Amino acid sequence: MTTGLLLLFLVAISSCKKETSHKENLESTILSQIDSIDGTVAVAFFNLSAPEDSLFINIDEKFHAASTMKVPVMIELFKQAAQGKFNLNDSVFLKNEFKSIVDSSLYSMDIGVDSDHIVYNKINKKVAIKDLMYSMITASSNLATNVLIELVDAKKVTATMRDLGAKDIEVLRGVEDLKAFEKGLSNSTTARDLMIIMKAIAQHKAGSEADSKAMIAVLEDQLFKSIIPKYLPKTLKVAHKTGSITGVHHDAGIVYLPDGKSYVLVILSKNIKNSDTATQQLARISKTIYDYVSTN
């Protein structure tokens, strides 16, 4: 081997070792951050700009989906609208009466535990589907969610997720169906499936390019910012959906950097003992990922 070729060979090896070191340091740091959390955590980081440079931790662990299941409902709304079943500008009657999937008994939503109070002022009135969808995602309205799930059918939502490649996520029902909850019939997901779903939106494969861009625009208006965007620069675009119930706090989204880089990040948690402390720690995992992408 000539001296010139030897030098090139050594530089290549050095570069590979450097890249491996960066990736190993990232994984080590995140595992340490996860260890500091009293609970179970899953992290799926998919670098859209460099797919080989991704990181997956506990991504096939099953979690209660909480409000992250509202993203699949949004995708199904766009799909059925594209099929001509309705127009997103159409209006539907806003009621507060729903059937349990257990025995079809009736139940109503409790404004006291819903994150969006405004939509309750429109009960017994007609509201545009697109407005309910916007409330479902940005303000995580449970009332809007239940009306929309009845419109599109939960089974069809799950079937569409299978078509996208998400093999484990289950959208069984709307929110606050206590009889179903007591029987263990809850919406569930894995970090892998939410990553697949968010990646499909980011790559404009969750529908037409126009519809995917419209979904991203809605997700960018998310009102709850305590995890993925918490410690990131305020100028960044983050299209994401959170979800939380007792002992559970999730965030799944797409992060867009000014230099054109972008990535999907899903952070799921369960069995959390101290919600406030855990949320801060989950947000720092997001910051670790951002620092890694922005400096490499």
pLDDT along the chain (296 residues), means of 10: 50 49 88 95 96 95 97 98 98 94 91 80 95 97 95 98 98 91 93 98 98 98 97 97 95 97 98 94 97 93
Single-letter amino acid code for the residue at 199? K
Q: Write out the two tokens for 246.
A: 């007792």
Amino acid identity for residue 271 in this structure: N
Could you tell me if residue 12 is inside a domain? no
pLDDT of 111: 81
Rounded distance between C-alpha atoms, residue 68 and residue 2, angstroms = 57
Domain range for 250: 38-295
Interatomic CA distance for residues 145 and 1, integer angstroms = 67
Q: How many folded domains does the chain comprise? A: 1
> Looking at residue 246, what is its pLDDT?
92
The CATH number that applies at residue 215 is 3.40.710.10
Residue 135 lies in a domain: yes
Give me the phi and psi of 5, to 5 degrees please. Answer: -65, -35
Is 216 inside a domain boundary? yes
Is residue 141 assigned to a domain? Answer: yes
Is residue 74 one of the residues assigned to a domain?
A: yes
Q: What pLDDT does 10 receive?
A: 45
Identify whether 16 is part of a domain: no
| 238 occurs within a structural domain | yes
pLDDT score at 264: 98
CB contact set of 43 (below 8 Å; sequence gap of 6+): 30, 34, 55, 56, 57, 58, 59, 191, 265, 266, 267, 268, 285
In-domain check, residue 19: no
Task: Give the Å distances, CA to CA, from 195 to 10, 66, 166, 203, 226.
Answer: 37, 16, 9, 12, 19
Whether pTM > 0.85 for this model: the answer is: yes
